[in-house]
Amino acid sequence: MIRKFWVKGVGVGLLVLTMQFSVFAAAKTFFIKGSGINKLGSTVTIGNDYILFNKTLYEPNSTIAITDFNISDGEVEDKGSGIGRNVQIDINVDESIGVTLWYPAQNEGNYYASKSLKMVQAYFDDSALTWDWDGLDINYKAAAPYKPTITTFAESTTSYTSGTPSVSTLTVTSAGGTSGDDGNREVNGYAWKMWIPADEEEPTDNLPGATSKNLSLASDSVVSGTTYAFKVGYKNQWEGGIYTWSDEETYTVAGGPGGGDGQQTASFSFKKPTEDGFGINIFAVSFANVYDASGNTIGTLQALVDTINDAGEGEGYVATIGYWDTDTQKEVGFSLGEDGSLLDRINTTENPDGIDIDQAKAYQISVTESVTFTVKNYQ
């Protein structure tokens, strides 16, 4: 830390003295206790060489470094008492003391566990501070991750009413890699492979930029109706950082109306009328079977109105709904009450509950308050 002082003296004007202050860590004494320390359920004995602290431990009120911090039969050893040990470290407030325990030794293929304690001000001021290691399980193995799994494929469409084109996304999720029959594994890196199995072999190179647990692909990076193959790889710092790859999974991207075999969702944000606008919103989907977010069928105009009203949660409702009838070349429309009941209609004798949703049509809807809702093509 650098601190400046202004010093005023007779005949010498103002002098600036710059003094350098060093910030030293303070000595902190605390108690480390622990019993039931085990490796995958069996208590362990570990010598000082394989209990690795990030700071030097000292005997309390001394400069003598501790070189016999041991764990005996699952307990932090204190010269025979077996219940714990007082130690001293040099540390600043908000710094952390950390430790990694290895069994039976610090080598790849062996087992480890890590703990840390951040020395916040309250801990620093606590003269009876105890760092508790009870039941610590040395359950990580210094090895590559287990084989991960590709879990789901989902296509979603976000629709807009302001003239902006809809945005479609294919999301591929993965899981696993961390737990198995032989201890846990760290995972700190991901990679993906993607190819068209009908046209090419599995690539040797990973998919550029795909370094997350889940893969998100914009609609312009895949072709509707095409079957793609995917693999995901997990890695960590062990075994040279090699990837453990999942099994190959294939998926056919959904094609136009009713096409493909993908699960699709579409989100709509309907806006209420502005002072100088009519508040007309467009509802249209590319899939034949339409369901609400809970999996209930939206088969008719009335079911669509009820879905939007439910999303409005009493704050807003569908005031009008209509569509262009290509056969009569007229606009068919309905005026509705707050409870979804019919108030008026034009160019039809049908009621909204008698008109089926048609994926070939775009429906014009006005709402009294802005509302957002989601529909999907699966239950």
* Residue type at position 370: S
Look at residue 2 in the predicted model and tell me its pLDDT.
Answer: 39
Cα separation, 217 vs 215, whole angstroms: 7
Q: What is the mean pLDDT of the chain?
A: 85
Asked if the model's pLDDT at residue 265 lies above 80, the reply is no
Confidence of residue 22 (pLDDT cuts 50, 70, 90): very low
Residues 6+ apart with CB under 8 A from 290: 297, 298, 299, 304, 357, 359, 375, 376, 377
165 versus 343: the higher-pLDDT residue is: 343
Look at residue 162 in the predicted model and tell me its pLDDT.
Answer: 44
Look at residue 15 in the predicted model and tell me its pLDDT.
Answer: 43
How would CATH label the architecture of 148-252?
A: Sandwich (2.60)
**Average pLDDT estimate for 234-261:** 80
Asked if the model's pLDDT at residue 13 lies above 90, the reply is no
Render 52-117 in DSSP notation, one character per residue: EESS--B-TTS-PBP----EETTEE-STT--SEEEEEEEE-TT-EEEEEEEESSSSTTSEEEEEEE
Helix H or strand E encompassing 121: helix 121-125
Look at residue 276 in the predicted model and tell me its pLDDT.
Answer: 62
Residues, the chain, total? 379
156 versus 141: the higher-pLDDT residue is: 141
Using DSSP bridges, classify how beta strands 318-325 and 291-292 pair: parallel, antiparallel or unpaired: unpaired
Cα separation, 322 vs 303, whole angstroms: 14
- In DSSP terms, which residues pair with 373 in a beta bridge? 268
Q: Are 290 and 299 in contact (CB under 8 A)?
A: yes
Look at residue 267 in the predicted model and tell me its pLDDT.
Answer: 78
Burial of 291 (0-12, 13-18, 19+ CB in 10 A): buried
Asked if the model's pLDDT at residue 376 lies above 90, the reply is no
**Average pLDDT estimate for 305-324:** 88
Confidence of residue 257 (pLDDT cuts 50, 70, 90): very low
Torsion 87-91-95-100 (CA) sign: negative
**Average pLDDT estimate for 75-81:** 81
Question: Strand, coil or helix: what is 205?
Answer: coil
Look at residue 78 in the predicted model and tell me its pLDDT.
Answer: 86
Look at residue 80 in the predicted model and tell me its pLDDT.
Answer: 66
23 versus 195: the higher-pLDDT residue is: 195
Instruction: Give pLDDT tens digits for 288-310.
Output: 788 888 889 999 999 999 999 99
Token pair, residue 259, equals 């096409």
**Average pLDDT estimate for 153-173:** 67
Asked if the model's pLDDT at residue 7 lies above 80, the reply is no
Look at residue 218 in the predicted model and tell me its pLDDT.
Answer: 84
Token pair, residue 349, equals 């004798």
Cα separation, 226 vs 216, whole angstroms: 17
Give the residue extent of every domain in the chain.
26-141, 148-252, 265-376
Using DSSP bridges, classify how beta strands 75-76 and 71-72 pair: parallel, antiparallel or unpaired: antiparallel
Residues 6+ apart with CB under 8 A from 149: 174, 175, 176, 246, 247
**Average pLDDT estimate for 56-65:** 96
Asked if the model's pLDDT at residue 43 lies above 60, the reply is yes
Q: Which of 167-171, 224-228, 277-281 is predicted with the least confidence, judged by mean pLDDT?
A: 277-281
Look at residue 166 in the predicted model and tell me its pLDDT.
Answer: 55
Asked if the model's pLDDT at residue 33 lies above 70, the reply is yes
Between the alpha carbon of residue 33 and those of residues 25, 57, 81, 131, 219, the distances in Å are 24, 14, 11, 6, 56
Token pair, residue 308, equals 């939007």
Which stretch, 137-146, 163-172, 358-367, has highest mean pLDDT?
Answer: 137-146
Question: CA angle 208-252-358, nearest 5°?
Answer: 125
Cα separation, 339 vs 153, whole angstroms: 37
| Ramachandran quadrant class, 36 (left: phi over 0; alpha: psi -120 to 50; beta: rest) | left
Token pair, residue 200, equals 């090419």
Asked if the model's pLDDT at residue 271 lies above 80, the reply is yes
Helix H or strand E encompassing 216: strand 215-218
- In DSSP terms, which residues pair with 193 in a beta bridge? 231
Cα separation, 229 vs 218, whole angstroms: 16
Instruction: Give pLDDT tens digits for 203-226.
Output: 999 999 999 999 999 877 888 788
